[in-house]
């Protein structure tokens, strides 16, 4: 079975990203596929590589990036939500005239169409938010 996962909140402030991450791991452990993980609203903040969380606690960005690398997951950060909140890749930084970018490894910035496509292509879409 193919799952689509939507993460509507940023790391730490809400449990949504943790719940989505644990769910994603369980999906894979059960032998299912993850079509895409789509980060919307403040969820885009999961995709910055500049977080420095305390050493004795989980690093959510790193967890997502490592899960993506290990299982070839498609982690998509919504471009419109990202622009509002300052999450940029190198292309976006150049296009918008910003002096840096911050996207984390394994995440890519794309349009809301990717969310709709996940709804169409996945067998189940599960939303984590506040």
Partner 1 sequence: MSEETNKKKFLYINRRAPYGTIYALESLEVILIGAAFEQDVSVAFLDDGVFQLMNGQDTAGVGMKNFSKTYKALGDYEVRKLYVERESLAERGLRVEDLMPITYEDENEDYAEKPSIHLVDRSEMAKVIAAQDVILSF
Partner 2 sequence: MSTLHTINKSPFERSSLKSCLDHVADGDAVLMIEDGVVGARKGSAFAEALRAKQPSCALYILGPDLAARGMKAEDLVEGVGVVDYGGFVDLAAGAARVCAWL
- Of 29-37, 42-50, 71-79, 94-102, which part binds partner 2 (CB under 8 A)? 29-37
Residue 126 lies near partner 2 (rule: CB under 8 A): yes
- Smallest gap, in angstroms, from Cβ of residue 117 to partner 2? 17
CB atoms inside a 10 Å sphere around CB 32? 14
Residues with a catalytic annotation lie at: 78
**Paired tokens of 27:** 């999906």
How big is the site for partner 1, counted in residues (CB under 8 A)? Answer: 17
Extract the runs of DSSP E, i.e. beta strands, from 40-112: 75-78, 107-110
Distance separating alpha carbons of residues 46 and 76, to the nearest angstrom: 10
Looking up tokens 């296009």, which residue turns up?
95
- Contact residues: partner 2, CB under 8 A: 1, 3, 8, 15-16, 19, 22-23, 25-27, 29-30, 32, 123-130
């Amino acid at each position: 079975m193919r799952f689509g996962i939507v993460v509507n909140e940023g790391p730490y402030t809400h449990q949504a990203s943790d719940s989505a991450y644990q769910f994603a791991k369980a999906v894979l452990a059960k032998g299912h596929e993850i079509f895409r993980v789509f980060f919307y609203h403040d969820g885009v903040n999961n995709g910055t590589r500049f977080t420095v969380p305390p050493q004795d606690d989980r690093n959510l960005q790193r967890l997502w990036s490592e899960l993506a690398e290990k299982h070839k997951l498609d982690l998509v950060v919504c471009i419109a939500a990202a622009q509002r909140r300052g999450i940029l890749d190198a292309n976006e930084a150049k296009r918008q005239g910003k002096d840096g970018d911050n996207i984390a490894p394994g995440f890519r910035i794309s349009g809301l169409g990717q969310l709709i496509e996940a709804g169409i292509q996945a067998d189940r879409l599960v939303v984590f938010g506040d």
